[in-house]
């Protein structure tokens, strides 16, 4: 694998988002806002800042939201120009600039059979290249883009790299947790992956976050994987099988604030965090909270 630069990334967005019902009946979860932009905007920003040139979206059948969001809208732009809404035009131009020099591909996941099954649908597009994976449930606020941090590890390791963060004991049963061998500061060799263990039996408090660099070898494991009791193929379980087979997978405890958006409470907390530090809205919101004694 001589070319160690990651140019492709996969973003699975075909899930049903049942934790966000009833809103998710009409709004796809990747379009839930953080401040005034949808979560997918932040993910694509990170991808572009990490050097990604092609993004493969795994969508539900007939889903068109991503295309509509990132495509130009001449009719709307003309309307805003006539109304002299320059500040709103700048918002649209920002999206146009973000999408520039990135190609978008789309594959359909016809049934909600898990995130591993979603990744498998991209095999023909990814081919034999290493690639990044973003799960939109996780936004990372950091100086160096999170995926770029993992790419830096991959340059020397040439092996899959999983993003990790430490969680409190009470949160352990909600995540995939890793048993590790420490290599250096923040870098680990993964010895075992345990999906949602009880805190008493967890091998550590290092949780898997939705950022990964994977190699094409993962597709052969995904193809062989059986559906679990929930009728899903889970990526972390497949990666655990690779580790059990002696494949080298690294974990990197990345720098930055992990903003979880996978359920209503975490999404609200992430909104609070970003809103209060936002240069446009932060001070006004802090003043409001103080005035209302909230």
Domains of the chain: 8-291 (3.90.550.10)
The whole-number pLDDT of residue 16 equals 84
The whole-number pLDDT of residue 127 equals 92
Structure tokens belonging to residue 15: 């899930």
Distance, in Å, from the CA atom of 8 to the CA atom of 254, rounded to the nearest integer, reads 20
Among residues 148, 153, 164, the alpha carbon closest in space to that of 236 is found at: 164
The whole-number pLDDT of residue 1 equals 40
pLDDT along the chain (294 residues), means of 10: 74 91 91 95 97 95 87 91 92 92 94 94 95 96 97 95 96 94 95 93 95 97 93 94 96 97 95 95 94 83
Using the 8-state DSSP alphabet, how is residue 226 labeled?
Answer: P
Task: Calculate the alpha carbon distances from 172 to 37, 50, 53, 141, 188 in Å.
Answer: 30, 29, 35, 22, 19
Among residues 98, 163, 140, the alpha carbon closest in space to that of 261 is found at: 140
- For the entire predicted model, the pTM comes to 0.93
């Amino acid at each position: 694998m001589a070319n160690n630069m990651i140019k492709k990334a996969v973003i699975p967005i075909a899930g049903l988002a049942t934790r966000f019902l009833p809103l998710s009946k009409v709004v796809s979860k990747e379009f839930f806002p953080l401040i005034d932009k949808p979560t997918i905007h932040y993910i694509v920003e990170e991808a572009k800042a990490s050097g990604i040139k092609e993004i493969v979206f795994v969508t539900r059948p007939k889903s068109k939201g991503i295309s509509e969001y990132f495509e130009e809208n001449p009719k709307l732009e003309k309307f805003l120009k006539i109304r002299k809404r320059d500040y709103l035009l700048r918002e649209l131009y920002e999206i146009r600039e973000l999408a520039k020099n990135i190609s978008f591909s789309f594959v359909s996941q016809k049934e909600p059979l898990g995130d591993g099954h979603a990744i498998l649908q991209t095999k023909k597009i990814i081919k034999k290249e290493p690639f990044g994976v973003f799960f939109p449930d996780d936004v990372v606020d950091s100086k160096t883009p999170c995926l770029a941090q993992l790419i830096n590890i991959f340059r020397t390791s040439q092996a899959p790299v999983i993003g990790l963060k430490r969680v409190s004991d009470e949160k352990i049963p909600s995540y995939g947790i890793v048993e590790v061998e420490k290599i250096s500061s923040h870098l680990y060799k993964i010895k075992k992956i345990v999906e949602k263990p009880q805190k008493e039996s967890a091998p550590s408090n290092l949780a898997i976050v939705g950022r990964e660099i994977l190699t094409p070898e993962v597709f052969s494991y995904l193809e062989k994987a059986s559906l679990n009791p929930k009728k899903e193929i889970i990526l972390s379980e497949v990666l655990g099988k690779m580790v059990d087979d002696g494949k080298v997978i690294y974990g990197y405890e990345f720098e930055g604030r992990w903003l979880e958006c996978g359920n209503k409470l975490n999404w609200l907390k992430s909104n609070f965090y970003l809103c209060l530090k936002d240069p446009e809205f932060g001070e006004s919101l802090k003043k409001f909270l103080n005035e209302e004694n909230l």
